[in-house]
């Protein structure tokens, strides 16, 4: 009996109609991630391994339709799911609520206000959280007419490239520098539009784990200088590998172009988060296959652009292109004689005046 009392009571939460039981103190985002990627809200600033992260980007806003079993009133405003703890009997609406989708479209527009949209140049393109988020929720046009903010170029060490114009001020790198390294050399200065990531007093980040700010950055603001413009991510082949490293776990992902390792990153889980940080020696200096023990090809989501042109039976093509083509489709004035159709026994769709895919219901 005593053992049962010590055991914490599990809380029941319903997210998008799916019920899940979680421990007290869990956030809505964590509960949704427990269910799976289909209902998990997007997160631009929240990073589970970093303490204190979250609550800044508003990408994970959800609607709480019922606060708890005891007080089933809805919460008056949308809440940030990464910071809000669940309560027993809470009902959360994520993708099912048009209000949430509308809010997210607005968040994308705000995040992209000052973003230079130089994806063709940016090394992060293809594995960029903001790109994915904007792809799902953004519009193809902008209403912003003013000049986008610019910054003076700042050199923060020989290995890391800072593009301040791309930054969305998620603070992930600041928390990384604060928590992984011993002294804080890296912070946010100024306010509002002028705020920027900066090393304190022009001090280069010389800590042995400083390279991890590249991995935590959701956009291309912090990129690997040794990988700069080497190749696009979707032409490279990632494999999991490890080595005996005296300072870190040594578990990494190697990115190959042919036989050449052109980049080393830490391993990311399905939420694009690094759980085991790696040291700068592993990341920047050991770029030979002979340095590593290769385990297996990295598991990449089949819908990711990194899987593009790598043929496999289970390849999933994103439906975006088809939907766009169906929306843009203009019926052609087809004056062909179709009176012989029944004799030739051709399927009637061949002569249809609308695209067959447009008739299909949404997948």
Contact between 125 and other proteins per CB under 8 A:
yes
Distances (CA, A) of 96 to 57, 102, 107, 196: 21, 11, 17, 36
Contact between 326 and other proteins per CB under 8 A:
no
Contact between 119 and other proteins per CB under 8 A:
yes
Q: In sequence order, which residues have a C-beta less than 8 Å from that of residue 220 and are 6 or more positions away?
A: 122, 123, 124, 125, 128, 163, 166
For other proteins, give the closer residue by CB, 1 or 140. 140
Contact between 120 and other proteins per CB under 8 A:
yes
Q: DSSP secondary structure string, 199-225?
A: EGGG----STTTTHHHHH-SSSSEEEG
How many Cβ atoms are within 10 Å of 47's Cβ, its own excluded? Answer: 24
Contact between 232 and other proteins per CB under 8 A:
yes
For other proteins, give the closer residue by CB, 234 or 271. 234
For other proteins, give the closer residue by CB, 64 or 233. 233
- Range in contact with other proteins (rule: CB under 8 A) among 103-111, 116-124, 166-174, 287-295: 116-124
| Main-chain dihedrals φ then ψ at residue 120, nearest 5 degrees | -60, -25
3-29 burial, b if ≥16 CB within 10 A, otherwise e?
A: eeeeeeeebebbbbebebebeeebbbb
| Main-chain dihedrals φ then ψ at residue 14, nearest 5 degrees | -115, 120
Binder of other proteins out of 58, 230, 243, 302 (CB under 8 A)? 230
Contact between 228 and other proteins per CB under 8 A:
yes
Contact between 118 and other proteins per CB under 8 A:
yes
Q: DSSP secondary structure string, 142-192?
A: ----SPPP--------SSEEE-GGG-----HHHHHHHHHSSS--EEEES-G
Binder of other proteins out of 340, 349, 352, 357 (CB under 8 A)? 340
Contact between 235 and other proteins per CB under 8 A:
yes
Contact between 311 and other proteins per CB under 8 A:
no
Binder of other proteins out of 35, 308, 326, 341 (CB under 8 A)? 308
- In the complex, least distance from residue 146 CB atom to other proteins, rounded to whole angstroms: 11
For other proteins, give the closer residue by CB, 70 or 229. 229
For other proteins, give the closer residue by CB, 176 or 236. 236
| Binding letters toward other proteins, positions 138-157, x by CB under 8 A | ---xx---------------
Distances (CA, A) of 74 to 16, 17, 103: 15, 16, 17
Contact between 305 and other proteins per CB under 8 A:
yes
* Contact residues for other proteins, defined by CB under 8 A: 117-121, 125, 141-142, 228-232, 234-235, 305, 308-309, 340, 343-344
């Amino acid at each position: 009996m005593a053992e049962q009392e010590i055991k914490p009571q599990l809380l029941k939460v319903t997210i998008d109609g799916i019920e899940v039981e979680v421990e007290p103190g869990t956030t809505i985002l964590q509960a949704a991630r427990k269910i799976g990627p289909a209902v998990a809200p997007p997160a631009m600033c929240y990073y589970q391994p970093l303490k204190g992260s979250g609550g800044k980007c508003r990408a994970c806003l959800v609607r709480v339709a019922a606060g708890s079993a005891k007080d089933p009133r809805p919460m008056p405003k949308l809440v940030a799911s990464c910071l809000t703890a669940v309560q027993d009997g809470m009902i959360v609406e994520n993708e099912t609520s048009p209000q949430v989708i509308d809010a997210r479209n607005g968040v994308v527009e705000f995040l992209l206000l000052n973003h230079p949209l130089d994806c063709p140049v940016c090394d992060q393109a293809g594995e960029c959280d903001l790109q994915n988020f904007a792809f799902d929720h953004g519009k193809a046009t902008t209403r912003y007419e003013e000049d986008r903010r610019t910054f003076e170029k700042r050199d923060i060490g020989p290995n890391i490239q800072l593009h301040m114009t791309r930054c969305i001020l998620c603070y992930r790198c600041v928390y990384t520098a604060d928590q992984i390294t011993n002294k804080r050399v890296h912070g946010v200065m100024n306010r509002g539009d002028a705020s920027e990531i900066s090393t304190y007093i022009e001090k280069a980040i010389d800590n042995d784990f400083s390279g991890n700010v590249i991995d935590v950055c959701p956009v291309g603001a912090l990129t690997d200088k040794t990988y700069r413009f080497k190749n696009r991510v979707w032409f490279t082949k990632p494999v999991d590998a490890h080595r005996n490293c005296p300072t870190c776990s040594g578990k990494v992902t190697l990115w190959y172009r042919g036989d050449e390792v052109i980049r080393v990153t830490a391993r990311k889980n399905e939420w694009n988060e690094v759980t085991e940080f790696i040291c700068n020696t592993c990341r920047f200096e050991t770029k030979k296959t002979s340095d590593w023990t290769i385990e297996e090809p990295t598991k990449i989501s089949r819908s990711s652009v990194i899987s593009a042109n790598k043929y496999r039976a289970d390849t999933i093509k994103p439906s975006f292109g088809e939907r766009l083509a169906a929306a843009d489709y203009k019926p052609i004035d087809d004056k062909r004689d179709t009176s012989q159709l029944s004799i030739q026994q051709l399927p009637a769709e061949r002569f249809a005046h609308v695209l067959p895919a447009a008739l299909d219901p949404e997948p």
